[in-house]
A = this chain, B = another copy of it.
Amino acid sequence: MSRRSTIMDTNSYRPEYAEALPEETRLLTQKREELLGGAYRLFYRDPVHLVRGRGQYVWDAAGQKYLDVYNNVVSIGHCHPAVVEAVTKQMSELNTHTRYLHENILDYTEALMRTLPPELDKAMYMCTGSEANDLAIRVAQQASGGTGIIVTEEAYHGTSALTSGMSPALGSGQPIADFVRLVPAPDSYRVTDADLGTWFAARVQDVIDDMARNGIVFAGMLADSIFSSDGVFPDPVGFLAPVLETVHRNGGIYIADEVQPGFARTGDAFWGFARQGIVPDIMTTGKPMGNGFPTSALVAKGDVLAAFSDRLPYFNTFGGNPVAMAAAQAVLRVMDEEGLQEHARVTGAKLKASLEELAATHPSVGDVRGAGLFIGFELVSDRDGKTPDQQLALNVIEELREHHHILTSVAGSHGNVLKLRPPLPFNDTTDIDWLVGALDETLSGYGV
């Protein structure tokens, strides 16, 4: 298993870049170092000082416009007026908690459940994806009677004590909990087996057997349905079915972490697991749910959740409050009214095709994969050997920021996969041209 020193090393600012910074940036950066904890990281050698956002665009303090090809939180677009209006209205009327009755949490849950299979029939609300995954693990452990959890080798599932212990993407400094086992990612680019699903399910069975040898009772598997931090692996559609079956056969709970692929992003379906044709026992979501307003959710099969809630209390002060629910309701409504799922499907397919064309002239393009507006663009130094080229990926990220005013980042265990994940209003002509043209020019500049 490969482990980078930390996920933050990918394209982050370091103190040695300070001297080269413009004065204003240097002062803000220094002030951060003085005031904030040392765990804070900034993107880029020359960090971006953003002041305004709209749709898929952001502007820095100097007025420079950027194309945002990274931020999935603002999924319906930066500063969408429908969310601003919904939050303003509800904040002006009432903002309490779930120990009083309020329609918003009920109306939202009904709307959310219309996007979900009927088996997922009980909802709970928190503030962050970490909180949703933290609770999901506790529910899985109660429902299964076990403790052992499976995640992928480069998974990221959160920042709490429990979820960081199952987030190897945090780097080698972060210990993995002793009841957690890692499986290799379903790397459709490198795994040569004809049936990726069967191969992946066999890896899952391997670690379940390993747990049994160590006296760990298997509780379940937690997986991002698009394996974002592993490098973005959405295909072939259906490959998760044998995994789900394996988890269930061994008495485990399957948790679909939908923080990344959920809310229409993959185009083919509203949820990543639905695109894969499976029904998980629990699903969690977060980031795009409130378009930046802190809100997250866990939805589970009633009997699975009851195993927890019959024994244990749970109350989240801000979770499911009227304002969070108003923000989340506005997001669902806009997605529907603006047809963002279909837009993601069509625009994503067009973007992917354009990126695939780059492979014809750029041998460094090893693989292009993705679903809707979630695309992994993998750079290699050697196409036959599929040798990851992290340095090239980092250089490309920095050049996109500096010369082409495009914001994006990298993923994967080698940090060589560009993670292209824009706000969903991403334009199907001008934005594609902006991004693909910039990549073409940058790779040409490196002669790769």
Binding site for B on A (CB under 8 A): 6-8, 12, 25, 28-29, 31-32, 35-43, 47-53, 58, 71, 73-74, 78-79, 81, 83-84, 87-88, 91-103, 105-106, 109-110, 113, 121-124, 126-131, 134-135, 137-138, 159-162, 164, 170-171, 173-174, 286-287, 292-295, 298, 300, 305-306, 308-318, 321, 323-324
Contacts and interface: CB of A to CB of B under 8 A. Distances in A.
Copies of this protein chain in the complex: 2
Contacts of A287: 317
Given A87-B87, A127-B127, A323-B292, A101 B48 contact: yes
11 contacts: A28-B101, A28-B103, A42-B101, A49-B101, A50-B101, A78-B95, A79-B91, A88-B91, A130-B131, A161-B161, A164-B312
Most chain B Cβ neighbours within 10 Å, of A6, A79, A294: A294
A130 B122 CA distance: 23
A149 to B, nearest CB: 12
Contacts of A294: 127, 294-295, 318, 321, 324
A162 to B, nearest CB: 4
Contacts of A311: 173
A4 to B, nearest CB: 11
A316 B92 CA distance: 27
Contacts of A127: 127-128, 131, 294, 318
Contacts of A110: 35
Nearest to A96: B50
B36 A312 contact: no
Contacts of A95: 53, 74, 78-79, 292
Nearest to A79: B92
A326 to B, nearest CB: 12
Contacts of A12: 99
B94 A37 contact: no
Given A58-B94, A71-B96, A95-B292, 12 more contacts: A32-B106, A36-B124, A42-B101, A43-B99, A49-B101, A53-B94, A73-B96, A73-B97, A128-B131, A128-B317, A129-B317, A159-B315
A12 B98 CA distance: 12
Nearest to A95: B292
A314 B35 contact: no
